[in-house]
Amino acid sequence: MIFKKKSYERRVSLKQDVVDSISSYCKIKHPNESILILKGKSKKGNITIDGLVIPPFSHTGPTFAGFPHSFLPFDMSYVGIVHSHPSGSAEPSLTDLHNFFGLVSIIVQHPYGDDDIFAWDSKGNSIPLEII
């Protein structure tokens, strides 16, 4: 008998209006980084993002965006964070991986278009992302 391990391919689905909101928020904050909390739900590895929350007490600069996680209310609908990389590379930095929050980390690179959005897991592996 072949023992098959059940594993789910992870995938991230982003609503188009959420993408538009992220994009315009990043443009307003540019050249500083911006950071937002992703709201949505996760089912069998599929993460659907349908809302955004501006984190409390966020502090941002040209190379760093963060907020104290301890101030976050416990909310199961918070599936991760999105932040921008004004420098133009969507690769997660070591700091990003150390500050990983939730299930997915989305990074938007300059100039913040639909093709500039990338999703990563806590190990820095890319997760397929689709705009719905």
Task: Return residues touching Zn ion (CB under 5 A).
Answer: 93, 96
Minimum distance of Zn ion from residue 31's CB (angstroms): 14
Minimum distance of Zn ion from residue 4's CB (angstroms): 37
- In DSSP notation, 52-71 reads EEPPTT-EE-SS-EE--GGG
- Closer Cβ to Zn ion, 41 or 69, answer by number: 69
Residue type, position 50, single letter:
D
- Closer Cβ to Zn ion, 50 or 64, answer by number: 64
Yes or no: say if 91 and 65 are a contact pair by the CB < 8 Å rule. Answer: no
Minimum distance of Zn ion from residue 96's CB (angstroms): 4
- Closer Cβ to Zn ion, 42 or 96, answer by number: 96
**Structure token digits, residue 27:** 């443009």
Yes or no: say if 84 and 30 are a contact pair by the CB < 8 Å rule. Answer: yes
* Position with the least CB separation from Zn ion: 96
